[in-house]
A and B are shown apart, each in its own frame.
Chain A
Amino acid sequence: MSIFLYSIVFILGLSLLSGPIGSLMLWRQMTFFGETVAHGTLLAFLLQYVTHWPLIGCMIIIVLAYCIVLEIFESNYFDLNQVFPLLSYGAMGCALLLTETVVRQPRMIYRVLIGDILLVSYDDCLILFILLLSTICFVSYYYRAILLSLFSADLARLRYRSIFIIRFVINVLIGLSVAMSVQSAGMLLAMAVLTIPSLTAASWSKHPWSMILLSSGVALVGSFLGFAVSMICNWPTGPTITVMLLVLYCLSVCVQYVWKSLQI
């Protein structure tokens, strides 16, 4: 049981985090940024292998670097659809090549691509819950500013002069959440764990705060179900959780369709 304790705690924390973070990513149309950070985590693993620094430290460095680059390009009105492919696939290509040719650790690639929830430690759980607490406090405090910035950047700047700092901190929180999600679901599916619950919750919610709460609820149900099935069937955890969340989304769509048909 103790083998699974940290995994269960990690899934709990990540599910709760996916509510605010997944919702923010959908509202701000930042899923591509999330994918870019997910692909960049391979660089973090490489950095950790070379420098022997803690993995989370390497991830923070990579996430901050990406957020600074994003801020520079956004402030200079660059088209981010051109920037993200370069950052995303360029980083991943370089990292894969280095891992294969210089580091020569193919197992590391597999672990990063698919993830392994059973390898999370006490430190990973602690950092995740610190991130969760920070996110909840930040989003609660700047709730109005965050939502206002979705409608008009000028209006948000007029009322909140520090809107650039708020935007940067949100990007960092999103980046760190994606980096934490890579540990459980892997680089390929990290975004799925964060965004599918919010997509499911969006059509059932009337208010932003209810979408956040419902997303966390859907993530909890889907993640624990997926974890249980993966343990019973001996399947990789990340893909199983993703499929379970997808099943919940499809169920949600069917229920809504039937509900609307009955009302008519």
Chain B
Amino acid sequence: MHNLIEVQGLDVGYELPILRQLSFSIARSEMLVVLGTNGVGKSTLMKTLLGLLPKKNGLMKISCQKIALMPQLQMIQHQLPMTVHDFLNLFIWLSPQWYENVINKLELIEFMNIPIKSLSCGMWQRVNLAQALAEQPELVFLDEPTQGLDVQWQIKFYEFISAYAAEYQAGVCCIAHDTLAISRYAHKVLCLDHQPAHDEIIQQRTAEEAFVIYQHNHHQCGGCL
């Protein structure tokens, strides 16, 4: 299977490495979920993969052109008058038909003329996802994408992104805290630190075929399974 991203022995960090010897890959139509406690380095890893931070050591190979990011929720400036339509127009869309397709699937039609400062967290996350798909990316990075979404919309969200990945053969790298992502939608899990809450789900999933765990202890050098 053609890998969109391959990482071997990667060290990431700022002045000193905070994660060492990471090795994993993401293929087309696969979703990799990155788990870890707060402050372990999940966002730092994502920034390094996106090229926003230089890698400290190791190999990193990205075999696609169109990469998109759905960043963590940012505080919306209350002095900035902007509608949802204005915000989505900041991005260069693949085509008008694609724009309508995404807006319809994310049920954003009725919110297009609403000021973004009056959106709820959940609605803002849907708008956030819409912008990430503007150019029909081959590799999508999602940083805590279901923050603020109710359970029904969390399911819809993951189903939408899984369907997108399957239909357009895109890879997805998702930082998530919720067990829903691992239990139903992830093909691979990168555990950056031990998390007892997820152990049972991971144990259940390891019985399934083609489910991969990358176990990594950030206090020591680790390897991949």
Contacts and interface: CB of A to CB of B under 8 A. Distances in A.
A9 to B, nearest CB: 30
Interface string B62-104: 0000010101001011011111001100110000000000000
Given A155-B69, A155-B71, A158-B67, A206 B50 contact: no
B79 A207 contact: no
A208 B86 contact: yes
A86 B173 CA distance: 43
A206 B83 CA distance: 7
Contacts of A152: 71, 74
Contact of B80 (A27, A144, A159, A199): A27
B47 interface: yes
A26 B67 contact: no
B1 interface: no
Interface in A143-157: 144, 147-148, 150-152, 154-155, 157
B90 A147 contact: yes
Contacts of B74: 151-152
B83 A27 contact: no
A210 interface: yes
Interface string A137-177: 00000001001101110110111000000000000000000
Nearest to A146: B90
Interface in B22-53: 47, 50-52
Contact of A206 (B52, B69, B81, B131): B81
Interface string B95-120: 00000000000000000000100000
Given A144-B90, A148-B90, A207-B86, A27 B71 contact: no
A155 B141 CA distance: 11
B61 to A, nearest CB: 19
A216 to B, nearest CB: 15
A27 B77 CA distance: 6
Contacts, number: 53
Contacts of B86: 207-208
Contacts of A199: 79
A148 to B, nearest CB: 5
A131 B131 CA distance: 34
Contact of B82 (A26, A157, A198, A207): A207
B119 to A, nearest CB: 12
A195 to B, nearest CB: 10
Nearest to A25: B79
Contacts of B87: 151
Contacts of A27: 77, 79-80
Q: How extensive is the interface on chain A, given as a class?
A: 20 to 34
Given A207-B82, A207-B83, A157 B90 contact: no
Contact of B79 (A26, A151, A157, A158): A26
Nearest to A206: B81
Interface string A203-226: 001111011000000000000000
Contacts of A202: 79, 81
Interface string A167-200: 0000000000000000000000000000000110
A27 B74 CA distance: 14
Given A154-B69, A154-B71, A158-B69, A205 B81 contact: yes
Contacts of B83: 206-207
Which residue, A27, A148, A152, has most C-beta atoms of chain B within 10 A? Answer: A152
A249 B67 CA distance: 45
Contacts of A205: 81
Contacts of A29: 77
Nearest to A29: B77
A159 B91 CA distance: 9
A220 to B, nearest CB: 20
Contacts of A206: 81, 83, 115
Nearest to B86: A207
Contacts of B81: 202, 205-208, 210-211
Interface of B: 47, 50-52, 67, 69, 71, 74, 76-77, 79-83, 86-87, 90-91, 115, 131
5 contacts: A27-B80, A144-B91, A202-B81, A206-B81, A211-B80
Given A26-B77, A151-B76, A152-B71, 16 more contacts: A27-B77, A144-B91, A147-B80, A148-B90, A151-B87, A152-B74, A154-B50, A154-B52, A158-B52, A159-B91, A198-B79, A207-B81, A207-B83, A207-B86, A208-B86, A211-B81
